[in-house]
Structure 1
Amino acid sequence: MTVIILTACPPGLRGHLTQWLLEISAGVYVGHISSRVRSRLWARVQDMAGPGRALMVFQIGGEQRLSFKVHDHHWTPVDLDGITLMRRPAEPVFNAAMPAGWSKAARRRRFGRRARPAQPTTESE
């Protein structure tokens, strides 16, 4: 079985893939195709994707029984002792001193509400 997932790709590519695979959701294509057709479809995806991203998962022989191919995707497949894992990019680390331009509300959302010192109250009688 082969699964191809497209993001922000031109409609022409989506139409071309529907000739060979079944579109089960927007941008998700599934089907049983030969390795020759799969390699030609992947070459076509890389040619026609333009600014879009593509991810393909397909069956192979081996312990894990599947493999991945990516095109302009942030997540990359990495072989780790014979098992293919997807490495996602590291998230940016924010320190307590937020960059200029961040509002107090954004700081509260990011770091949670901090206890404020008690304000002295003045009672007028």
Structure 2
Amino acid sequence: MPVIVTTLPQPSEQDRQDLLKIYADAPDWLLAPHADAAALVEAGLRDGRLLGGRFNDRLLGAAWLQCDDDAWRLSRLCVRKVTRGRGVGRRLLDEAQRLASEAGKPLHLQAPAGHLEAQALAAKAHLPLEQY
């Protein structure tokens, strides 16, 4: 069964628990400026920015997608540690690229300055990297 990528306008309680598990595995730099995973999840849901990667009705990965007039920006991409290496992050990235392309907007990857993981992902995906 493939990973289905969706926005999360009306997350269930299970979705919220899954998101907390996803971001509990995140490094501190991915959570900033939020105090913890719960604050990041609540901000993402409140602002309508979260994409989720779902398999068998459970969220395994998530990312923030910000849709601006000049470009769309993907940030805070994270996959549960137990699921990494199975294509969930790639699926989230591919779907964000498809959505941005359909909207006629370029997709940029956003990450804090100096993070090699983000630089490598941007290079591999052929995306511009915006550092903050």
TM-score (structure 1 length as normaliser):
0.26
Decide which structure has greater helix share.
Answer: 2
Greater relative contact order structure (CA < 8 Å, 6+ sep): 2
Larger Rg: 1
